[in-house]
Amino acid sequence: MTHDRSVPSPRTPGHYRLGLVCLGNICRSPMAEVVLRARVDDAGLAGCVDVDSCGTGGWHVGRPMDERAASVLLAGHYDPSDHRAQQYDDTWPAAHDLLLAMDADNLAELGGRSERVHLFRDHDPIGTGDDVPDPYYGGERGFEEVLAMVERTCATLVAALQREPDLGARP
Ligand code: 4NP
């Protein structure tokens, strides 16, 4: 199994679309979406990198983030308030340059690894290729651990995006 930390080239030069996928779209992928968007913004790439997220299950469609996920994000000075859950469908692969699955089950739902489908933690320098564990049935601590993994992995992802030749290159 390869754990390639590079990202595939964008389909449209100068514009990158990243989609994050978990099960319910109320805990892990929305936490990663909010953190990744903040890091993209910090890197000056907000105008050319889009980030969104979805769940393979549809139970929570239209609902805001899980309160525990939101409070851990708020404690880290991120804003969770805009999130509304949405469900994965088969328009997602063509609409994104890279889909990142939070765990092996989510990855299997996307058809497994490919050039444009990775496990999120393929990009984590610690625990490369591991799952982001589902914190939904656990306590606050699980959400704090998810945030630490997500922050680390988003830093690596943004570094990979910064190596893309056409992104952020505009005067
Ligand atoms: P997520 O967590 O996939 O990280 O959003 C879950 C949220 C809800 C459920 C499972 C996992 N659920 O079964 O409702």
Domain edges within the chain: 16-163
Q: What is the pLDDT of residue 85?
A: 98
Q: What is the pLDDT of residue 159?
A: 95
Q: What is the pLDDT of residue 167?
A: 87
Q: pLDDT > 90: what percent of the chain?
A: 92
Cα separation, 131 vs 56, in Å, equals 16
DSSP 3-state of 163 = coil
Query: Which residues face 52 on adjacent strands?
Result: 19
SS3 per residue for 9-61: CCCECCEEEEEEEECCCCCHHHHHHHHHHHHHHHCCCCCCEEEEEEECCCCCC
pLDDT by residue (tens digit) across 19-58? 999 999 999 999 999 999 999 999 999 999 999 999 999 9
- Environment class of 91 (CB within 10 Å of its CB; exposed 0-12, middle 13-18, buried 19+): exposed
Please, which pLDDT band fits residue 80 given cuts at 50, 70 and 90? very high
pLDDT by residue (tens digit) across 121-147? 999 999 999 999 999 999 999 999 999
**Where do we find the tokens 């089950």?**
105
Q: What is the pLDDT of residue 169?
A: 58
In this prediction, residues 62-75 reach a mean pLDDT of 98
Q: Does 58 contact ligand 1 (Cβ within 6 A)?
A: no
Which of 22, 48, 54, 154 is catalytic? The answer is 22
**DSSP string covering 83-136:** ----B--TTHHHH-SEEEESSHHHHHHTTS-BTTEEEGGGG-SSSTT------T
Quick check: is 28 catalytic? Answer: yes
In this prediction, residues 88-113 reach a mean pLDDT of 98
What's the mean pLDDT when you consider all of the chain?
95
pLDDT by residue (tens digit) across 145-160? 999 999 999 999 999 9
Is the distance from CB of 19 to CB of 25 less than 8 angstroms?
no
Q: What is the pLDDT of residue 3?
A: 47
Nearest CA to ligand 1 atom 8: 24
- At the second CATH level, the architecture of 16-163 is 3-Layer(aba) Sandwich (3.40)
Q: Which of 20, 21, 22, 23 to mutate to test the pocket of ligand 1 (most atoms within 8 A of CB)?
A: 23
Instruction: Look up the pTM and report it.
Output: 0.96
Cα–ligand 1 centroid distance for 58 (angstroms) = 10
Quick check: is 22 catalytic? Answer: yes
Question: Sheet containing 98-101: which strands, arranged edge to edge?
Answer: 49-55, 16-22, 98-101, 117-119
Quick check: is 52 catalytic? Answer: no
